[in-house]
Amino acid sequence: MGNAKARLLLEGQRDVWKQIDMQLVHGEQRIWIHCASTGEFEQGRPLIEALREKYPQYKLVATFFSPSGYELRKNSASTDYVFYLPYDTRRNAKRFIALVQPVKAYFIKYEFWRNYLLEIHRRRIPLYLVSANFRGGQIFFKRYGSPYKQLLRYFTWFFVQNERSRNLLVHTGFNNVTVTGDTRFDRVCRIAEQGQPLPVVERFAAGKKCVVAGSTWQPDVDMLLRYLHNGKHSLKWIIAPHELHESQIEQLITEANKKDLRAIRYSQTTGKNPSDYDVLVIDNIGMLSLLYRYGTIAYIGGGFGKGIHNILEAAVYGLPVFFGPAYGKFQEAIDLVACGGAFPIHDYAEFARKIDELLDNEEQLLRACETAKTFVASGRGATAKVIDGSMQ
């Protein structure tokens, strides 16, 4: 899979100038939104939609560096143009910005490309960092981090998720900062309100208690399958792997079936009764945020690797959220754990114990559900603050 991504990146970088030359229309006014990958695009999407609604005279240009982000969103109707961001060289930065000619630029969360930042600054283009989350261990705040701190000077304004980020910037000499919160709260609330039904999933869940496991990696799947086989409670399970490796999906189905569980792929439910199955494996991209409405509890993958995926997509529906120990870089996870709506686990024994505690105590389960839902609702409003702060 790594080779496939590398190939897509090379092909995309080779064709990017041709795509830009072919698509851009002379005389337009444009706003540039840069996202590293799919997650950052979802984080920036409320901003994109708000810009579209409030400033229809501007064309919106989205760029990605990640092949997964570009391939998934290259036909998105949210923006007017979607391109790979050319490699960060001085020549590429000058050429790209000369062609796009943005009146403003928004970088989402974590993007610090030296040559692009320098060229944006040189051309006096307003540049905003949106939903940023800074931590004291980052190189900007180290004694030897002066060259990297210089990159921060190229931003017109920082819209950060929390007071910690603001304090770090202020103590480093940056007062051009506003605590807005995270625009992902606005995004997941919008998805929940739109309420698109999934009939197959609805029939699968059939009103029974269901765990929705999203963006799972192999360590997550191994633990979930163990509970499926040995756990105290009989539950329905929806499992959405983070990456759609055909061999891993088939292995997941096989392992579940070996444990006397009936498992089926979402794509193979036609003509069958989904409610007859114990495990539904999602083998497509783009459905995950809609799945959680059918759950009782959510498990979010990635916590036994580099970090967890989006927990807000589940919490917005009032689902208590479980995840592995690698969540320290995610403010929303830290906050939700603190208020009792999320449950970090370190191994199978802890997972089994905590999930059983919730399912054995209806009052505790309902309290955790309400906590999660209230937490997300209270985080709305970041997008409006960014729009107001950057369009003055």
Cβ atoms 160, 169 nearer than 8 A: yes
The domains found in the chain, sorted by start residue, are: 2-190+380-390 (3.40.50.11720), 196-378 (3.40.50.2000)
Angle, CA of 272, 276 and 280, to the nearest 5°: 80
Q: 95: Cβ–Cβ under 8 A, 6 or more apart, which residues?
A: 17, 86
Q: Which residues of the chain have pLDDT under 50?
A: 1
The single-letter DSSP state of residue 157 is E
Q: What is the pLDDT of residues 264-296, one digit of tens each?
A: 999 999 999 999 999 999 999 889 999 999 999
With residues binned 3-state (H G I as helix, E B as strand, rest as coil), the percentages for the chain, rounded to 5, are 50, 15, 35
Q: Per DSSP, what are the bridge partners of residue 34? A: 63, 107
Cβ atoms 74, 15 nearer than 8 A: no
Alpha helices in 275-346 (DSSP H): 288-291, 312-315, 331-339
Q: Per DSSP, what are the bridge partners of residue 84? A: 64
- How far apart CA 308 and CA 318 sit, in angstroms, is 18
Q: Residue 158 has which token pair?
A: 């920082």
Query: In this predicted structure, what is the pLDDT of residue 392?
Result: 66
Residue whose entry in the numeric block shows the structure tokens 């017109």: 156
The single-letter DSSP state of residue 172 is T
Q: 50: Cβ–Cβ under 8 A, 6 or more apart, which residues?
A: 383, 384, 386, 387
The single-letter DSSP state of residue 243 is S
Q: Residue 244 has which token pair?
A: 């759609």
Name the residue among 219, 224, 289 with its Cα closest to residue 259.
Answer: 224
Q: What is the pLDDT of residues 215-232, one digit of tens each?
A: 999 999 999 999 988 889
Query: In this predicted structure, what is the pLDDT of residue 255?
Result: 84
Query: In this predicted structure, what is the pLDDT of residue 1?
Result: 46
- How far apart CA 249 and CA 291 sit, in angstroms, is 18
Report the 10 Å Cβ neighbour count for 122: 12
3-class DSSP state of 305: coil
Residue whose entry in the numeric block shows the structure tokens 């609805």: 202
Query: In this predicted structure, what is the pLDDT of residue 221?
Result: 92
- How far apart CA 273 and CA 283 sit, in angstroms, is 18
